[in-house]
Amino acid sequence: MTLALVNGRLLRDSGWVENQVVLIDSARIQQIVARDSDWSADTTYDLQGQTLLPGFIDVQVNGGGGVLFNDDPSVASIREIGRAHRHFGTTGFLPTLISDDLDVVSRAVKAAQDAIEAGVPGVLGIHIEGPFLNAARKGVHDETKLRWLDEDALGLLTSLKGGKTLVTLAPERTTPQIIRKLTNAGVIVSAGHTNGTYDEIRTALDHGLTGFTHLFNAMSQLSGREPGAVGAALDDDGSWCGIIVDGHHVDPVVLKIAMRSKRRDRFMLVTDAMPTVGAPNKTFSLQGRPISVAYDNMLVDAQGRLAGSDIDMATAVRNSLEMLDVDLPHAARMASLYPATFLGLDRELGRIEPGYRADLVLVDQELNVVETWIEGQTAP
């Protein structure tokens, strides 16, 4: 069954285009043709002059729809989290497990594997954020769960098949050789919750580290005599920086300075979303500790420490326009093409071009999500 999307403004590689028809068949964009050309389709969807963007990709999703992945690392949880975030334009995501016991990590990897095999819409793999972190930068992670990363955990971290595995670790809590073994096995390695020196992070970059998890948060800072993890991130042109644009995790002025310090196409939006996204209840329990929204989407624990976020990707895109002084094409690519490239999926995701997977989001003038397509299918 072919589907034609007509009468919209499309964000293509060349920029904004109108009067073009997106023809979808077998989960992919088959052609994009002029509206007045000779084309046909089984079904036509009128975009009503609204804006069609590549579907958003979020590599850090702890929860949504009232579900926390750590509480129940299962296919059902992944499905519900994906359903909640899809309402906000997320068509691809990594369910994210924060620091926990290795048996829980094992269950989470199996759940991601089973979800991929079951065809759960949007799931691209898994993000394992810890427990190989530095207690000095633990944030709200449970210090009792933290551990050194050695050879014994390699089999677990490399066990997912058919999807992407992202591991956030503190480079000083393992060895450069372990990082190289992970990356050689196809694991994407990101630095986070790290107190590493510039030299330690630079060595990790030389051994395959390619990302920085929630830049500026839970990492050694840039100072006059020690550049730290932040300095290493901004000094390295090829690595990717996830940023939480909610006005709480990082001051927008600091983010704008950072984006002038390295390639702008190396910054990608992440939500670090918790169960409150897409749920009426704005409180939950994180490993026995109460978490609640203090104000304006800011989640905190009883001590006032940030505990993930209550924002979605559509909000992150809107915030980027307002806080970072970027235009919509750039903000949209920070939410789609750039994370796709980070994951090595930019040949099939992140663009509205022929041959790409039909993962798309339709937004109105205020960037509210009107409809989403995952592999050419609207939400049931």
Residues 167 and 297 in one domain: yes
Residues 225 and 362 in one domain: no
Residue 77 covered by a domain: yes
Residues 216 and 198 in one domain: yes
Which pLDDT belongs to residue 54? Answer: 98
**Residue in 223, 231, 271, 225 with CA at minimum distance from that of residue 248:** 271
Is 246 a residue of the active site?
Answer: no
Residues 150 and 25 in one domain: no
- Which residue out of 58, 246, 272, 312 is catalytically annotated? 272
The total number of structural domains in the chain stands at 2
Residues 74 and 181 in one domain: yes
Residues 14 and 26 in one domain: yes
Residue 35 covered by a domain: yes
Residues 11 and 153 in one domain: no
Contact 267, 239 (CB under 8 A): no
CATH number for 110: 3.20.20.140
Q: Which tokens hold the place of 340? A: 């796709």
CATH number for 369: 2.30.40.10
Per-residue pLDDT of the chain (380 residues; tens, 9 = 90+): 899 999 999 999 999 999 999 999 999 999 999 999 999 999 999 999 999 999 999 999 999 999 999 999 999 999 999 999 999 999 999 999 999 999 999 999 999 999 999 999 999 999 999 999 999 999 999 999 999 999 999 999 999 999 999 999 999 999 999 999 999 999 999 999 999 999 999 999 999 999 999 999 999 999 999 999 999 999 999 999 999 999 999 999 999 999 999 999 999 999 999 999 999 999 999 999 999 998 888 999 999 999 999 999 999 999 999 999 999 999 999 999 999 999 999 999 999 999 999 999 999 999 999 999 999 999 98
The residues near 291 (Cβ < 8 Å, ≥ 6 apart) are: 140, 274, 283, 284, 285, 299, 300, 301, 307, 308
Residues 372 and 258 in one domain: no
Residue 256 covered by a domain: yes
Residues 31 and 142 in one domain: no
Q: What is the pTM of this model?
A: 0.98
Please report which residue ranges of 7-62 form alpha helices under DSSP H.
none
User: What whole-number distance in Å separates Cα of residue 9 and Cα of residue 17?
Assistant: 6
* Domain of 264, in residue numbers: 55-342
Residue 348 covered by a domain: no
User: What whole-number distance in Å separates Cα of residue 188 and Cα of residue 184?
Assistant: 9
**Residue in 221, 251, 242 with CA at minimum distance from that of residue 136:** 221
Residues 76 and 167 in one domain: yes
Residue 349 covered by a domain: no
Which pLDDT belongs to residue 296? Answer: 87
